């Protein structure tokens, strides 16, 4: 299942690469009509052999900690902060999807990936017609990262 691959790579990225303790992972068993977004959200679309929208949504406290780690503790000037936060958010989703790609159907062959986009002024995403939303929450000591995939029933499996 696509969500399993995304959870595994998110967990490995957070714990092994970033040194962040994972407290709990929960999977949303429901098929919601809409996805509630957290403080910061990045999205990547996949196409070709796998048509999905993959969404990572962060509590601001977790994303701020990731920014500190990416910047190696260096102070970020106020006028550059939004750009750096967007960059870290995009780099995080790029990394997770890049690592998960070989575990996608057909080992990710024939799958195209869009550049990440950041959306911070939306509170939810609604599914369209027969699409399905699968989602998981990864709770850390710094906050929660939600990872979701939106697509057809066949794509989500």
Domain 2-156, CATH:
3.40.1550.10
Quote the pTM value: 0.87
The span from the CA of 42 to the CA of 109, in Å, is 23
| pLDDT for 105 | 73
| pLDDT for 157 | 65
Dihedral (C-alpha) 94, 148, 54, 50: value to the nearest 10 degrees?
Answer: 120
The span from the CA of 20 to the CA of 14, in Å, is 5
Quick: pLDDT tens for 127-147: 667 778 889 999 999 999 999
Quick: pLDDT tens for 10-49: 999 999 999 999 999 999 866 567 788 888 999 999 888 8
Phi and psi at residue 127, in whole multiples of 5°? -80, 160
| pLDDT for 126 | 65
The span from the CA of 50 to the CA of 54, in Å, is 11
């Amino acid at each position: 299942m696509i969500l399993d691959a995304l959870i595994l790579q998110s967990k490995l990225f957070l714990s092994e690469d970033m040194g962040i303790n994972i407290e709990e992972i929960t999977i949303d068993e429901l098929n919601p009509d809409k996805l509630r977004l957290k403080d910061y959200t990045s999205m990547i679309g996949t196409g070709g052999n796998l048509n999905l929208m993959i969404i990572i949504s962060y509590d601001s406290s977790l994303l701020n900690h990731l920014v500190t780690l990416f910047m190696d503790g260096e102070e970020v000037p106020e006028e550059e902060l939004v750009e750096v936060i967007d960059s870290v958010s995009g780099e995080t989703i790029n990394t997770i999807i890049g690592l998960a790609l070989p575990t996608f159907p057909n080992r990710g062959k024939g799958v195209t990936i869009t550049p990440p986009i950041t959306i911070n002024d939306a509170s939810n995403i609604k599914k369209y017609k027969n699409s399905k939303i699968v989602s998981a929450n990864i709770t850390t000591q710094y906050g929660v990262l939600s990872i979701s995939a939106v697509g057809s029933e066949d794509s989500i499996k």
